[in-house]
Structures are given as C-alpha cells and as structure tokens.
Amino acid sequence: MDHLDQLEAKSIYIIREAYKQFGNIAMLWSIGKDSSTLLWLTRKAFYGKIPFPVMHIDTSYKFEEIYEYRDAKAKEYGLDLIISRNEDAIASGMDHSSKLQCCMALKTNALKMAIEKRKFKALLLGIRRDEHGIRSKERYFSPRDANFKWDYKNQPPELWDQYKSKQSDEDHIRVHPILHWTEVDIWEYIKRENIPIVDLYFAKDGKRYRSIGCKPCCSPVESDADTVDKIIHELRTTNTAERAGRAQDKEDTYTMQKLRALGYM
C-alpha cells in the first residue's frame, strides 16, 4: 500500500465507524476540495449509496460556481442533500467586517438549527490538521456540548483507532475522517482518483483560490497553476499558508480558536 492507500483506508475506516456508532449522522459538504474529497471517500465507504444526508451550510454569499457544482453533483451522485440557511440573519443583512459575528450567524447558527431539527448525533467534517494551528489540536471524534462548545482543554483520550463511541443526550460528535491528510495529499488524491473539483481552484488571469468559502471573505492568491499537476507542483515549492486568503484567520490571532470553541467548523 502506498501513502495515499493508507490515508484512504484510515478515512474509510473512520467514516464506517461513525455510521456504525451513531446511525443518525450527516456529512457537511462545503463544496471545497477537502469536503469534496471526503464525499468521494464516503461514496467509496458505502459503495456509492451514502446512507445519510449530505448538508450544505449556505450563507447565501458563496460563489456562483459553488452552487452550480453542488446541484450538478448532488444529482449525479444521488445525494440526500440538505441545504441549511439562517434565513432570518440573511434577510436582515450581514456586516462582514466582524468575521466572528458573521461566521457565527450564517454558519454556526445555521448548523445549530439543522441539528436541532434533525437530531443528528454526529457530523462528518472535512477539516485537516495542517490547515490551521487550532485544528492541529483536534481529535478524530470530538464531542460538542448542547451549546456547541468545544472543550479543548479537556479532550478525551483517543488511542489505537478506538474513538469516542457513546455520548450523553445533549452532545453531538464532530467526526474528522481526513484530519491526517495534508493539502498536497488532497491534491495528489484528486489527481489519482480524478475527482471533479470546482473551477475556482484553477488559475485564471494569474490568480486562483487555494481555499474557498464566502465571496466577501476570500481572496485569490497569485498563481499560474491551471491544472491539478501544476497545483501540486506549486504546493511543493511554496511556503505561503493555505488559508492566507481567508479573512477569519486574520482578524485577531485567536479568532479561529474563539470560533471553533463556539462551534464553528
């Protein structure tokens, strides 16, 4: 087994474990490269028939390409797609200058509403340890309390693929099947498996997005990488951070810690 085979086998094991342990679960799909890779792995784990819903937290500020790609793939893969929006907050208009408040309202609260409605016991998320310092502290199975708080100072031990299985009534568990992948691993795998990816990642007129989210808070990086091969080459030679174009990482050193402690993805 090569490196990618090992990453894939571990992820599939975790995805199957989450479904076996919790049954009523959902996968969060942001349509980005990581959660689209997670979706690919999840289809593999269940032989093409994913036995739970796939949820898109729609802030209404996403790129056009994201919506088009989402609807096309949901149809092609036969997904049980849930689109979750915080309509009240969207209607009242958002002030993007405070990332903490905007992300809380449109993402975290939209997610809260969806969980409340469907009573999901666990959520699959495509976060990776190398993305951001605070994510490097995560477990594969990570409990959240009724207020979605992540008690990062008192996380349960996790050893030998024995993940937290039980939970008290008010918790949901965040499951992170691709936590151990790096950004380059993702692209190597996209190449090997020929996974279709949103166009925004590929360079146009000297710029491309390395990480995508809401339009107002994402800026492209300088790049001529317009193919998967060129992206892999670029990542092997750059030392710019992946989320350098993401506003919520920059506002204050601990914005991501605050957001995550409060239930952000």
Contact footprint for other proteins (CB under 8 A):
1-6, 8-10, 12-13, 16-17, 19-20, 43-49, 129-130, 133-134, 136-137, 139, 152-153, 155-160, 162, 164-168, 180, 182, 188, 239-241, 244, 253-254, 257
- Considering beta carbons, is residue 35 or 42 the nearer one to other proteins? 42
Write down the least CB distance from residue 198 to other proteins, Å. 22
- Considering beta carbons, is residue 92 or 237 the nearer one to other proteins? 237
Write down the least CB distance from residue 256 to other proteins, Å. 9
- Considering beta carbons, is residue 1 or 91 the nearer one to other proteins? 1
- Considering beta carbons, is residue 9 or 72 the nearer one to other proteins? 9
Contacts of 136 (CB under 8 A, 6+ apart): 129, 130
Write down the least CB distance from residue 86 to other proteins, Å. 28
Write down the least CB distance from residue 35 to other proteins, Å. 18
Write down the least CB distance from residue 33 to other proteins, Å. 18
- Considering beta carbons, is residue 4 or 90 the nearer one to other proteins? 4
